[in-house]
Amino acid sequence: MGIQKDRIKFNVGGRIFETTATTLGNAGRDSFFGALFDDNWNLLRANNNQEFFIDRNPDCFAILLDLLRTSDLHIPSNVPERLLYREAAFYGLSDHVRSAKWGPFDGNRLSLCRSVTGRAPGDGTAIRAGPDGGCAVAHGSMVHVFDWMLEEHPPINLDYQRVNDIGWVNTDGIVISACERLGTADGGMGLFTSSTGELRYKFNVVHDNQVKSYAAGALSFSPDYKIFSSCKGRSNEYGVGVWDQVTGKQIDFFYESPGWSLGDADKLQWLDRRNCLLVATLFPRKDNCYISMLDFREKRMVWSWSDIEAPVTVDEKRVRDAIAMEESNSICVVNEYEDLGFIDLRMSGGSVRWSSRSRLNKGKMPDESCYPKLALHEGQLFSSMNDCISVFCGPDCVLTSRLRRSHGGSICDFSIGGDRLFALLSEENVFDIWETPPPPII
Amino acid sequence: MSAPKKKTIQIEAFRHRVVADPKYAEKTWNILEHAIHEIYNHNASGLSFEELYRNAYNMVLHKFGEKLYSGLVATMTFHLKEICSSIEAAQGGLFLEELNRKWADHNKALQMIRDILMYMDRTFIPSAHKTPVHELGLNLWRDVVIHSSKIQTRLLDTLLELIQGERSGEVINRGLMRNITKMLMDLGSSVYQDDFEKQFLESSADFYRLESQEFIESCDCGEYLKKAERRLNEEIERVSHYLDAKSEAKITNVVEKELIESHMQRLVHMENSGLVNMIVGDKYEDLGRMYSLFRRVASGLVLIRDVMTSYIRETGKQLVTDLERLKDPVDFVQRLLDIKDKYDKIIGSAFSNDKTFQNALNSSFEYFINLNSRSPEYISLFVDDKLRKGLKGVSEEDVEIILDKVMMLFRYLQEKDVFEKYYKQHLAKRLLSGKTVSDDAERSLIVKLKTECGYQFTSKLEGMFTDMKTSEDTMQGFYANVGADLGDGPTLSVQVLTTGSWPTQPINTCNLPTEILSICEKFRNYYLGTHTGRRLTWQTNMGTADLKATFGKGQKHELNVSTYQMCVLMLFNNTDRLTYREIEQAAEIPASDLKRCLQSLACVKGKNVLRKEPMSKDIADSDAFFFNDKFTSKFFKVKIGTVVAQRESEPENQETRQRVEEDRKPQIEAAIVRIMKARRVLDHNNIVTEVTKQLQSRFLPNPVVIKKRIESLIEREFLERDKGDRKLYRYLA
Query: Quick one: pLDDT band at residue B33, thresholds 50, 70, 90?
Result: very high
**Is residue A88 assigned to a domain?**
yes
Query: Quick one: pLDDT band at residue B642, thresholds 50, 70, 90?
Result: low
Q: Say what the pLDDT of residue B10 is.
A: 63
Q: How far apart are CA B635 and CA A195, in angstroms?
A: 118
Q: How many domains does chain A have?
A: 1
Residue numbers in A near B53 (CB within 8 A): 32, 35
Q: How far apart are CA A84 and CA A66, in angstroms?
A: 13
Query: Quick one: pLDDT band at residue A84, thresholds 50, 70, 90?
Result: very high
Closest CA to B239 of B250, B230, B231, B248: B248
pLDDT above 90: percentage of residues in chain B: 24
B421 in the same domain as B339: yes
B430 in the same domain as B311: yes
Query: Quick one: pLDDT band at residue B20, thresholds 50, 70, 90?
Result: low
**Is residue B671 assigned to a domain?**
yes
Q: Say what the pLDDT of residue B648 is.
A: 62
Query: Quick one: pLDDT band at residue B562, thresholds 50, 70, 90?
Result: confident
Q: How far apart are CA A281 and CA A321, in angstroms?
A: 9
Query: Quick one: pLDDT band at residue B274, thresholds 50, 70, 90?
Result: confident
Query: Is residue A438 within 8 Å of residue A404, measured between CB atoms?
Result: no
Residue B481 domain boundaries: 468-540
The last residue of one of the domains, among B467, B494, B512, is B467
B691 in the same domain as B661: yes
**Is residue A22 assigned to a domain?**
yes
B410 in the same domain as B319: yes
**Is residue B286 assigned to a domain?**
no
Average pLDDT on A238-249 reads: 90
Q: pLDDT by residue (tens digit) across A113-154?
A: 888 887 766 677 889 999 888 999 988 888 999 999 888 888
Q: How far apart are CA A78 and CA A13, in angstroms?
A: 18
Minimum mean pLDDT among A267-281, B145-159, B459-473: which range? B459-473
- Residue B646: is its pLDDT beyond 80? no
CB–CB contacts below 8 A, A to B? 30
B157 in the same domain as B95: no
- Residue B645: is its pLDDT beyond 50? no
Q: Say what the pLDDT of residue B206 is.
A: 93
Sheet strand arrangement including A300-306: A267-271, A276-281, A290-295, A300-306
Q: Say what the pLDDT of residue A356 is.
A: 61
Q: How far apart are CA A15 and CA B266, in angstroms?
A: 85
B555 in the same domain as B671: no
Q: How far apart are CA B602 and CA B608, in angstroms?
A: 5
As a whole number, the mean pLDDT across chain A is 84
Q: Do B122 and A92 touch (CB under 8 A)?
A: yes
Q: Say what the pLDDT of residue B17 is.
A: 53
Q: How many domains does chain B have?
A: 6
B424 in the same domain as B320: yes
Domain harbouring B186, CATH code: 1.20.1310.10
Q: Tell me how close the Cα of A35 comes to any Cα of chain B, in angstroms.
A: 5
ipTM of the prediction: 0.75
Average pLDDT on A54-83 reads: 92
Tell me the residues of chain A between 255 and 314 that have a Cβ less than 8 Å away from chain B.
none
**Is residue A23 assigned to a domain?**
yes
Long-range contacts at B251-255 (CB < 8 A, ≥ 24 apart): B251/B200, B251/B201, B251/B204, B252/B296, B254/B201, B254/B204, B254/B205, B254/B208, B255/B204, B255/B208, B255/B228, B255/B231
B454 in the same domain as B384: yes
The last residue of one of the domains, among B510, B540, B570, is B540
A195 in contact with B at a CB cutoff of 8 Å? yes
A170 in contact with B at a CB cutoff of 8 Å? no
The last residue of one of the domains, among B467, B490, B522, is B467
**Is residue B297 assigned to a domain?**
no
Q: Say what the pLDDT of residue A258 is.
A: 83
As a whole number, the mean pLDDT across chain B is 84
Closest CA to B235 of B221, B255, B215, B217: B255
Q: pLDDT by residue (tens digit) across A418-441?
A: 899 999 888 777 889 999 998 887
B602 in the same domain as B509: no
**Residue in chain A lying closest to B46 (CA):** A45
B423 in the same domain as B342: yes
B431 in the same domain as B323: yes
- Residue A363: is its pLDDT beyond 50? no
Residue numbers in B near A32 (CB within 8 A): 53, 118
Q: How far apart are CA A369 and CA B345, in angstroms?
A: 86
**Residue in chain A lying closest to B112 (CA):** A35
Q: Which DSSP letter does residue B675 get?
A: H
Give the side-chain half-sphere CA count within 13 A for A110.
Answer: 28
**Is residue A270 assigned to a domain?**
no
B727 in the same domain as B671: yes
Residue A34 domain boundaries: 7-101
Query: Is residue B540 within 8 Å of residue B510, measured between CB atoms?
Result: yes
Query: Is residue A160 within 8 Å of residue A179, measured between CB atoms?
Result: no
Q: Tell me how close the Cα of B364 comes to any Cα of chain A, in angstroms.
A: 48
Which of the listed ranges A81-85, A316-320, B455-459 does the model predict with the highest average pLDDT? A81-85
Which are the contacts of B713, defined by CB distance < 8 A and separation ≥ 6?
B669, B672, B673, B719
**Is residue A210 assigned to a domain?**
no
**Is residue A39 assigned to a domain?**
yes
Domain harbouring A77, CATH code: 3.30.710.10
